Amino acid sequence: MDVLFDPPQSEWERILRSLGRAVLYTVAAFIVIVAAALLYDRAVNRSAAPSAFGYSALVVATGSMSGSIEIGDLVIVQKTGDYRVGDVITFLPAGSDVTTTHRIIRTEGNLYYTKGDANASEDTAPVTRGQIVGEVVAVVPGIGLFFEWLKTPDGLLFAGITVALAVAFVFVLRM
């Protein structure tokens, strides 16, 4: 009968293994907390742009900002409250439940006039402060396509298998 034998680990190996576990658990906890915050914001506040810790992540669906932001890019948006000409903002047009990301080209009092960089003319209606989701603070090229794919049946299957493998990996590490 074969007996599995795990040779004694050196002090450094034990420290590195413990550190690895701590990092893994910290990252996993952070992901769970962010996901819970986003789900809560989406479900309770019925938010078109759910946010966690003041930030929203949205996928660009049109080419209106082509040249600076492309279709499939992921934009990270932060509600700042201080918006100026030249800022790229994400807002919810009146009567719509779909966000728009455009550049502020001029202001008049509390009204913001916007235009997509690739559009020939400015947007027809001005944007009020209450319609603004936030200012674009980062753009992650192309990754939004992956997140959109995750919403498909194949993507959900992939995500489920990945989570199952990650859980199995954690249990193997504990052995």
Sorted by sequence, the CB contacts under 8 Å of residue 103 that are 6+ apart come out as 65, 86, 87, 88, 89, 114, 115, 116, 117
Residue 136, classified by CB atoms within 10 Å of its CB into exposed (0-12), middle (13-18) or buried (19+), is: buried
Half-sphere exposure of 74 (CA within 13 A, CB side): 12
For residues 34 and 42, what is the distance between their CA atoms, to the nearest angstrom? 12
Give the residue numbers marked as catalytic: 64, 102, 123
Contact 65, 88 (CB under 8 A): yes
For residues 9 and 15, what is the distance between their CA atoms, to the nearest angstrom? 10
For residues 29 and 55, what is the distance between their CA atoms, to the nearest angstrom? 18
